[in-house]
Amino acid sequence: MTRNMICIGCPMGCELTVEVEDGKAVSVTGNTCGIGKKYAESEVSSPTRMVTTTIISDKGIPVPVKTRSAVPKDKIFDVVNSIKSAELKLPVKIGDIAVRNVCGTGTDVVVTKDTV
Amino acid sequence: MAEHISLAVIGGGPAGMAAAVSAYDSGITDVTIFERENELGGILNQCIHNGFGLHTFKEELTGPEYAGRYIDEVKRRNIRYETGSTVLSVSPDRQITVVSREKGMRIISADAIILSMGCRERPRGALNIPGMRPQGIYSAGTAQKLVNCEGCVIGKEVVILGSGDIGLIMARRMTLEGAHVKAVAELMPYSGGLKRNIVQCLDDYGIPLLLSHTVVDIKGKRRLEGVTVAEVDQSGTPIPGTEEYYECDTLLLSCGLIPENELSLSAGVKINGATNGPVVDDRLETSTDGIFACGNVLHVHDLVDFVSEESSRAGKNAADFIRSCGKTKNEPVIVRVTAGNGVRYTVPNTIDAANASGDIHLRFRVRNVYKGCTIKLISGGSVIYSKKKKIVVPGEMEDIIIKPEMLSSVSGELVAEIEEGAV
């Protein structure tokens, strides 16, 4: 089976053609770099996405956060809801861990803005 | 007696910070950044999504993280910055009027000025959408600020007009915040946003993108109740009989950005009708001596990385201007850069062929989607640059690097154009 997709690895948005056999990518063409190949391979077997959102801190100020790495696509809403219910005490610095191992994904959620 | 500084940078977003850091590193340390918000970072602070910095830092950062990197650079150099300070006007002789709560109103003269005020969104009033004027209609960036920086819930049932990147990003953001985004309508037959954003902000969440569609009616007395969306023909005129009503409490407008040049006009800076930004030369100097422009105030960029890169050049050039008291080494040989077939605009508008020392970036946008085409730079009938492209789209800025030696055969005029169908 052939799947066409657009790489989301960077703003170039390469148009990829992926040959899929048994749910696995056997060949990837159209990519400019290694990110495209990796993206296509992951996209056909187990797609993942970075999640960014905010946590309302103890002082009522929203603090932007992100997952340190991409999480399974089908867990995005669980991850967002889990982050939303987390508590965060100010001040925080970029890189501070807000939620450990969010939803058992093995990925921490970290603060992306120094906030006082 | 007016205060005096070497370099005034107006705006503390990515453009202003990169320009200030670069000017400082080029030896001009008497620099002040004037920022009207209460913190540096500009619009990056509300862009909490990732995707910034792949070119600059070789890693993917969120907006606040990208801003944070430059804020650190500004602080490390002890570059002065005044937040909560609004510049009210800039005069052609490089005096700025600035007002702040702490210091009141001041007039400051500068040896050089960098315009880095960014851009603003095209509002409803500029879109000629018929219908009523209820609450619940926001420009996408305003909604982004309310949601991400103020923690507001702005609506539950959403329609988005315009498929610019902010609109796409907000489609995902509103979805993650529990809202239902019913559709994104785009007047043009193609999206104005990056392809990756269509994939990860719309396709991932099953949000339909209606190309060649627009909002033809808005209903609701106090709060928005719904919008009517219709298909448009090739001239952008709604086609009768294609109307569809969407019940919704929120309409987001992502219909383009306009460089914010009120201050540039007060300084007598000439504006390019195609970009709504200043006319500049290859040093990014405007038509007013010693006033430089960079970032989204100059022309709207797709990527902040390109803003930072451009602004670093503006900062260095402003530093050179201050050091040389505005004198060039050689007698200038001005080449006009013009937009030819398929090209909407170019930045810069002129190149001084006799004084070009380093690489010149020629940036432009195309008028339409062209598949299998060639980008050409032509001067006096001869092609000085040519590159084949599989596809070029208006939503993605092109960037050609002109080496100084390429200018030896150039005189009078340099035309950037698209040759169609030459695969």
What is the per-residue pLDDT across A62-89, written as a single tens digit (0 to 9) for each?
999 999 999 999 999 999 999 999 999 9
pLDDT of residue B192: 81
Interface test with B, best of A42, A48, A53, A112 (most B CBs within 10 A): A112
From the CA atom positions of chain B, what is the Rg in Å?
A: 22
Containing H/E element for B195? Answer: helix B195-197
**B163 interfaces chain A, CB cutoff of 8 Å:** no
SS3 readout for chain A: CEEEEECCCCCCCCEEEEEEECCEEEEEECCCCHHHHHHHHHHHHCCEECCEEEEECCCCCEEEEEECCCEEHHHHHHHHHHHHCCCCCCCECCCCEEECCHHHCCCCEEECCCEC
Q: How far is B271 from chain A (nearest CA, A)?
A: 29
| Chain B residues 75-134 with a CB less than 8 Å from chain A | none
Q: Which residues in chain B have Cβ-Cβ distances shorter than 8 Å to A50?
A: 50, 60
Q: Using the beta-carbon criterion (under 8 Å), do B194 and A11 form an inter-chain contact?
A: yes
B residues 227..266 contacting A (CB < 8 A): none
- Residue B1's pLDDT is 60
> 């209903």: which residue's tokens?
B219
B54 touches A: beta carbon within 8 Å: yes
Q: What is the DSSP string of B126-173?
A: GTT--S---B-EEEHHHHHHHHHTT-----SEEEEE--SHHHHHHHHH
CB spacing of A6 vs B196 below 8 angstroms: yes
HSE (side-chain half, CA atoms, 13 Å) at A7: 24
User: What confidence tens digit (pLDDT) does each residue in A42-51 have?
Assistant: 999 999 999 9
The interface residues of chain B toward chain A in range 194-213, judged by CB-CB distance below 8 A, are 194-196, 198-200, 204
Question: Confidence class of residue A8 from pLDDT cuts 50, 70 and 90?
Answer: confident
Size of interface A-B (CB pairs under 8 A): 75
Q: Which of A49, A56, A114 lies closest to B204 in CB terms?
A: A49
CA distances from B423 to A8, A31, B101, B419 (A): 26, 19, 60, 10
Enumerate residue ranges in chain B where pLDDT < 50. Answer: 422-423
* Distance between CA atoms of residues B329 and B106, nearest Å: 35
Q: What is the pLDDT at residue B231?
A: 98
CB contact under 8 A, A60 and B62: no
Q: Is the minimum CB–CB distance between A112 and chain B shorter than 8 Å?
A: yes
Is A104 part of the contact surface with chain B (CB cutoff 8 Å)? no
Query: What's the rounded Cα separation, in Å, for the pair B148 and B385?
Result: 44
β-strands B50-52, B382-392: how paired? unpaired
**Chain A residues with beta carbon closer than 8 angstroms to that of B175:** none
On whether the CB atoms of residues B281 and B269 are closer than 8 A, the answer is: no
Strand partners, B382: B379
Is the CB of residue B48 less than 8 Å from the CB of residue A64?
yes
pLDDT given at position B150: 95
- Predicted local confidence at residue B20, as pLDDT: 98
d(CA A3, CA B97): 58
Is B148 an interface residue toward A (CB < 8 Å)? yes
Q: For A68, how many CA atoms within 13 A lie in the half-sphere containing its CB?
A: 15
Nearest to A6 among B62, B63, B195 (CB): B195
Q: Does A91 touch chain B (CB under 8 A)?
A: no
DSSP structure string for B293-334 = E-GGGTS--S-HHHHHHHHHHHHHHHHHHHHTTT--SS---E
Q: What is the pLDDT of residue B9?
A: 98
pLDDT for the residue numbered B423: 47
Inform me whether the C-beta atom of residue A68 falls under 8 Å from chain B C-beta atoms: no
**B49, closest residue in chain A (CA to CA):** A52
- d(CA A89, nearest CA chain B) in Å: 16
How many angstroms separate the CA atoms of B46 and B150, rounded?
A: 10
How far is it, in rounded angstroms, from Cα B161 to Cα B253?
5
- Residue A60: list chain B partners with CB under 8 A: 151
Report the candidate in B291, B288, B290, B262 with the shortest Cα–Cα distance to residue B276: B262
CB B150 to CB A62 under 8 A? yes
Instruction: Tell me how far apart the alpha carbons of residues A37 and B181 are, in angstroms, rounded to a whole number.
Output: 31
In a mutational test of the A interface, the residue from B49, B207, B392 whose CB has the highest number of chain A CBs within 10 Å is B49
**A62/B149 CB distance under 8 A:** yes
**Residue B397 contacts residue B363 (beta carbons within 8 Å):** yes
Q: Are A76 and A51 in contact (CB under 8 A)?
A: yes
* Contacting residues for B303 by C-beta, under 8 A, at least 6 apart: A11, B52, B55, B397
Alpha-carbon span B52 to B380, nearest angstrom? 40
Measured distance CA(B203)–CA(B187) in Å, rounded: 19
Residue in chain A closest to B149 (alpha carbons) equals A62
- Does residue B146 belong to the interface with chain A, where contact is any CB pair within 8 Å? no
- The residue among B185, B184, B191, B188 whose CA lies nearest residue B235 is B188
Which positions in chain A touch B48 (Cβ < 8 Å)?
52-54, 64, 66, 112
Domains of chain A: 2-46 (no CATH), 52-111 (3.10.530.10)
For the CA atoms of B4, B6, B12, B14, the dihedral, rounded to the nearest 10 degrees, stands at 170
pLDDT at residue B128, as a whole number:
87
The token pair at B35 is: 């920022």
Residue type, B120: R
Q: From chain B, pick out residues whose CB is under 8 angstroms from the CB of A9.
A: 196
